[in-house]
């Protein structure tokens, strides 16, 4: 059992009120989680005590800031089971990490090559590949889903051909909560000699990740969904591939030697892909967020979230007439996307907000999935370690009141 009240006390924002004094019930964790006080303190400490540019100074502050950033790099490598900390690249988020791979690794894809992705992808794992396809004359193949939200694995296998150059897919759907069988998908791609990228933005807060066991070539995720700072992302890449890839951006830090008019050489990985001044304060604080997760225990967090998910689904389906849940696969992550009869999701979300409940509405940056489902969007409630059964009860009570208005 978790001491949820003790955990909640570490998140001051959960004590605030909204909507004319109603206690905040925050159920938009899939978009971003809240941040515990200790992580905020780490950020403040970074700005007040160790702010100096990393890797560029011999003075004390620069060395301390560098140590904090590189500690996080090693911490992340350990957290996801990477073979080396040199396989960890800091970006501004999952989106930039995927763009980096598409622009750099994808630069070598031959004209006429095919990229496989799924209909459940976030736009961040669609648009970069579309841009690459338009530039380099590539074709995109799309894997469909079954009605319960599970991926059509038979179709996935059938789309591979001698022209396939990349397979990329989410670990967990941000709309459906579906957990894709990524090990199986990666293994099949590897048998075909096809590299893989896994979008782990929605998996990393809820499950244990081991990139070597998954076997993928690239894995991307974000700090802000894991109780950490915004503006910090992680790209894992197999070192031998990173060494072969050209730089994504040019500038300071990523160089070996600059010579005019030509002849510039580049730094070793991972620094080759980290041009300019990074958010070294946020990166340093991300290690504190990982400590927060590990101290509670990721498995215990997952069990609590899963219990909330099952309870919420049972309460919603029994109390709200005409409610439809999208994504019903066993073992899904703590996300509930739903509609109530023909009520527009925006109307539901706006009225829930007036009752103190924060949910997400719309297409959730997954318009192709919405088209596949034949709907304009959904209302999405998602859970984190600090949410409670009492909050679920208040959410269901509020939704029942909103539904009665239509």
pLDDT digits (tens, 9 = 90+) for 33-60: 999 999 999 999 999 999 999 987 789 9
| pLDDT tens figures, 157-170 | 999 999 999 999 99
Please choose, from the candidates 285, 189, 182, the residue with its C-alpha nearest in 3D space to the C-alpha of residue 228. Answer: 285
Pick the closest to residue 293 from 205, 364, 231 (CA basis): 205
What pLDDT is attached to residue 202? Answer: 98
| pLDDT (average), residues 343-363 | 97
3-state secondary structure the chain: CCCHHHHHCCCHHHHCEECCCEECEECECCCCCCCCHHHHHHHHHHHHHCCCCCCCCCCHHHHHHHHHHHHHHHHHHHHHCCCCHHHEEEECCHHHHHHHHHHHHHHHCCCCCEEEEECCCCHHHCHHHHHHHHHHCCEEEEECECCCCCECHHHHHHCCCCCEEEEEEECECCCCCCECCHHHHHHHHHHCCCCEEEECCCCCCCCCCCHHHHCCCEEEEECCCCCCCCCCEEEEECHHHHHHCCCCCCCCCCEEECCCCCCCEECCCCHHHCCCCCCHHHHHHHHHHHHHHHHHCHHHHHHHHHHHHHHHHHHHHHHCCCEEEECCCCCCCCEEEEEECCCCHHHHHHHHHHCCEECEEECCCCHHHHHHHCCCCEEEEECCCCCCHHHHHHHHHHHHHHHCCC
Per-residue pLDDT tens for 179-191? 999 999 999 999 9
pLDDT digit string, tens, across residues 287-311: 999 999 999 999 999 999 999 999 9
Is residue 365 among the annotated active site residues? Answer: yes
Taking residues 118-137, report their average pLDDT: 98
Please tell me the number of Cα atoms within 13 Å of 348 on its side-chain side. 27
Residue % of the chain over a pLDDT of 90: 97
Q: Is the peptide bond before 270 cis (omega within 30 degrees of 0)?
A: yes
Q: Do domains 4-31+297-403 and 40-294 have the same CATH topology?
A: no
Q: What is the pLDDT of residue 247?
A: 95
Asked if the model's pLDDT at residue 108 lies above 80, the reply is: yes
- Residue 227, pLDDT > 90, answer yes
Checking if the pLDDT of 263 tops 90, the result is no
CB atoms within 10 A of CB 333: 26
Angle at 34 between CA 29 and CA 36, to 5 degrees: 145
pLDDT at 55: 87
* Rounded distance between C-alpha atoms, residue 387 and residue 378, angstroms: 21
CA angle 312, 313, 315 (to 5 degrees): 65
Level-2 CATH architecture, domain 4-31+297-403:
Alpha-Beta Complex (3.90)
List phi, psi (to 5°) of 148: -85, 0
Q: What is the pLDDT of residue 221?
A: 98
pLDDT mean across residues, the chain: 97
**Which pLDDT value is given to residue 56?**
76
- The pLDDT, as a whole number, for residue 300 is 97
User: Cβ distance 338 to 328 under 8 Å?
Assistant: no
Please report the sign of the dihedral spanned by the C-alpha atoms of residue 248, residue 95, residue 224, residue 221.
negative
The active-site residue out of 302, 325, 365, 375 is: 365
Q: Where are the domains of the chain?
A: 4-31+297-403, 40-294
- Specify the pLDDT at position 327: 97
pTM of this prediction?
0.97
**What's the CATH number of domain 40-294, 3.40.190.80, 2.60.40.10, 3.40.640.10, 3.40.50.12160?**
3.40.640.10
């Amino acid at each position: 059992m978790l001491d949820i009240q003790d955990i909640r006390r570490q998140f001051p924002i959960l004590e605030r009120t909204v909507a004319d004094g109603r206690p905040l019930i925050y159920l938009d964790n899939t978009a971003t989680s809240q941040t515990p006080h200790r992580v905020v303190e780490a950020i403040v400490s970074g700005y007040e005590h160790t702010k100096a540019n990393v890797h560029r100074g011999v003075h004390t502050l620069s060395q301390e800031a560098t140590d904090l950033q590189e500690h996080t790099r090693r911490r992340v490598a350990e957290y996801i089971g990477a073979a080396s900390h040199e396989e960890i690249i800091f970006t501004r988020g999952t989106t930039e990490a995927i763009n980096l791979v598409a622009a750099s690794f994808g630069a070598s894809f031959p004209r006429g090559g095919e990229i496989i992705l799924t209909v459940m992808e976030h736009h961040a794992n669609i648009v970069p590949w579309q841009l690459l396809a338009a530039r380099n004359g590539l074709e995109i193949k799309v894997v469909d889903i079954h009605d319960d939200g599970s991926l059509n694995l038979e179709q996935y296998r059938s789309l591979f051909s001698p022209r396939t150059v990349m397979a990329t897919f989410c670990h967990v759907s941000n709309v459906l909560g579906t957990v894709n069988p990524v090990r199986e998908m990666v293994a099949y791609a590897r048998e075909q000699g096809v590299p893989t990228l896994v979008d782990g933005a929605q998996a990393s807060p809820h499950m244990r990740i081991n990139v070597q066991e998954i076997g993928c070539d690239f894995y991307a995720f974000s700090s802000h969904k894991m109780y950490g700072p915004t503006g910090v992302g992680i790209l894992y890449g197999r070192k031998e591939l990173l060494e072969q890839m050209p730089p994504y951006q040019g500038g300071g830090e990523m160089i070996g030697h600059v010579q005019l008019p030509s002849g510039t050489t580049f730094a070793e990985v991972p620094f080759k892909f980290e041009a300019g001044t990074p958010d070294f304060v946020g990166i340093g604080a991300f290690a504190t967020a990982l400590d927060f997760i590990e101290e509670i225990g990721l498995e215990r967090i997952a069990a609590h979230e899963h219990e909330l998910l099952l309870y919420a689904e049972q309460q919603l389906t029994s109390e709200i007439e005409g409610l439809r849940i999208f994504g019903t696969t066993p073992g899904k992550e703590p996300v509930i996307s739903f509609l109530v009869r023909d009520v527009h999701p925006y109307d539901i979300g706006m009225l829930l907000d007036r009752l103190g409940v924060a949910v997400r509405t719309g297409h959730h940056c997954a318009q192709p999935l919405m088209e596949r489902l034949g709907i304009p969007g959904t209302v999405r409630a998602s859970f984190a370690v600090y949410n409670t059964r009492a909050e679920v009860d208040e959410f269901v009570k509020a939704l029942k009141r909103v539904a009665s208005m239509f």
